[in-house]
Chain A
Amino acid sequence: MSTRAATTAIDARPWTGPWRRYDIIKEGVVALVIVSILTALFAAIFSSPDDAAITFKEWATSSPEAFQATAVQELAGTSGSATYGPPYNSNSDGLNVGPLYLQKWAGVRQGVDSANSFVIEPLRNGVQSAEVTAALAAWDKATPDQQMAWATAYDTALTDATAEDGSIDMTKVAAGDYGPVPALAAGLLALGQSGGLDGILTNGGKFFSTNTTNPLLFLGDGAYLEDAAVANHLGGGQWGMMNETGAFPGQAWLWLYSFWYQIPPFSDEAQEPFGANADAYIWVIMGLLSLLLMLLPFIPGLRSIPRWIPIHRLIWRQYYKTLK
């Protein structure tokens, strides 16, 4: 028998040394009482975070220009969700890790048509002015190429009409052939400001809905949500995933996952291939690290660290004292 096998056999056999009394049930009950009291104290003293959700009414009222610009990007197919790729559409391959295109291979499983789902259908489902109704009819009559030409032209015009602070100045929008797009964007803005879009986008014209993908994707396409998150130190470059609104602790256990987003090359989205595919690389890294942690007992070197750094001498100091 090898030394390792002999050691394992000895460590595995029933203990033959001295024993001490140990009331496991009492220990459990005392622990439960103490933890319950601690939890109640924390809850009573510190409460818990609950900042109200952003509504489309709030976004459309606070940032009408940005709201309209996002609506136009949906029509032009240039928004984040419209160009996302799987699982929403096939407009890109998504991210990859070298030759592994996991996002693409998983396929389009939650099809989202940004232009129709976020702009056209909500307008159809609401009560509209004559101008918006006429714009919808013009949009429906046009060919897909014509629709794209109008929307792209207006998208570009809005992007170019920037004020000094970087926001959109509608008075600077150049004249052009934008077809019904400005009226559609203005119609969605009015619907948003009235509060009607919140219900329509969430329910999609159905009575019951538990799927919030469409409203969250549309909200995420604009900068309003991210700006609010950054103001609450929740941004991706601010260890966002492990933070919480206010001064509350968040998911601190995600610190290692958040850590990778803070350092190059993953912090630089323009860097190819690691920064541009940071999400995929970080998930693969975390998957491998999790596997490493799980299989630690079988990994030579790593499993010997506790022998080399004798913290166990503190844990079992009474035992080692008796050995002396």
Chain B
Amino acid sequence: MTTTLPEATPAADDSKMWTARLRRSWERNLPPDKLLPDKQPAYVASWIYVFGVATLAALIVIVVSGLMLTAKGPSWYHDSSLGHFVNSLHFWSVQLFFIFMVVHLWGKFWMAAWRGRRAMTWITGVICFLASVGTAFTGYLIQTNFDSQWIASEAKDGLNSVGIGAFFNTENLGQALLLHVCLLPLVVGIVVVIHVLLVRKHGVVPPLDYAASSVAQSDQAEVSS
């Protein structure tokens, strides 16, 4: 016995499907040549552009070394020389991450990189920075050494003073541990992905005064014609 499949819905009706809408929006905003470009405007020629990708590279090292520490548990690095080395990798990759990110942030500030409807790229970048500060802070809380004892004891007063301490207790090792290895990295990861996709969507901001010089050129062209 053969069954007859229902006829495919006409393409016109697809336009209202959520899936079709999402696909079209993705194709419109992030076509492959924008997502993985093999060329950039000629003005993208400065060392300052390296710091964005360097920040991402450091983040990858942080995640990999962090996963190794997570797999072996919080006391591993106190008792094992290999564990201590992996902890050192995690420690220094965080230091490099912040150096790269701060240089990247300052670079984007001096470029006024929010121009041309790129404000959301800037805002997500700042959120990345703030979320990273929070994630690093919880990392310092879970060192389970003298430094973490002191930081937990000292930092609680600031958080308590504005009511945050009622929900995030710096002195609760279990809470800080789960925030550090699960929730906060997820937040940083999601915001970083959004930030990078926005950069790819809008492209690299043109030089300051480019718009003014473009207007002047078109005015000149109109006069000569």
Q: Which residues of A contact B (CB under 8 A)?
A: 6-8, 10-15, 17-25, 27-28, 31-32, 34-36, 38-40, 42-44, 46-54, 84, 86-87, 94-95, 97, 102-103, 105-110, 210-213, 216-217, 219-220, 225, 228-229, 232, 234, 236, 240-241, 244-245, 248-249, 251-254, 277, 279-280, 282-284, 287, 290, 293-298, 303, 305-307, 309, 311-312, 315-320, 322-323
Is B10 at the interface (CB under 8 A from chain A)?
no
Specify which chain B residues have a CB less than 8 angstroms from the CB of A11 in the assembled complex. Answer: 115-117, 205-206, 210-211
A6 contacts B147, CB within 8 Å?
Answer: no
A94 contacts B160, CB within 8 Å?
Answer: yes
A20 contacts B116, CB within 8 Å?
Answer: no
Smallest CB-CB separation from B127: which chain A residue? A294
Distance of A312 Cα from B43 Cα, bound (Å): 11
Specify which chain A residues have a CB less than 8 angstroms from the CB of B145 in the assembled complex. Answer: 49-53
Q: Which residues of B contact A (CB under 8 A)?
A: 36-46, 48, 50, 53-54, 56-58, 60-61, 65, 77-78, 84-85, 87-93, 95-96, 98, 102, 107, 109-112, 114-119, 122-123, 126-127, 130, 133, 136-137, 140, 143-155, 157-167, 169, 171-175, 177, 202-203, 205-208, 210-215
A216 contacts B149, CB within 8 Å?
Answer: yes
B153 contacts A280, CB within 8 Å?
Answer: no
Smallest CB-CB separation from A26: which chain B residue? B38
Known: A103-B160, A219-B153. 12 other contacts (CB 8 A): A24-B36, A28-B53, A46-B92, A48-B84, A51-B146, A53-B149, A86-B163, A103-B165, A210-B175, A306-B110, A312-B207, A319-B42
B43 contacts A319, CB within 8 Å?
Answer: yes
Residues of A contacting B: mostly: helix
Smallest CB-CB separation from B86: which chain A residue? A43
A22 contacts B39, CB within 8 Å?
Answer: yes
- Known contacts A48-B87, A216-B149; A107/B166 CB under 8 A: yes
Distance of A12 Cα from B77 Cα, bound (Å): 49
B48 contacts A315, CB within 8 Å?
Answer: yes
State how many angstroms separate the Cβ of B98 from the closest Cβ of chain A.
Answer: 5
Smallest CB-CB separation from B133: which chain A residue? A253
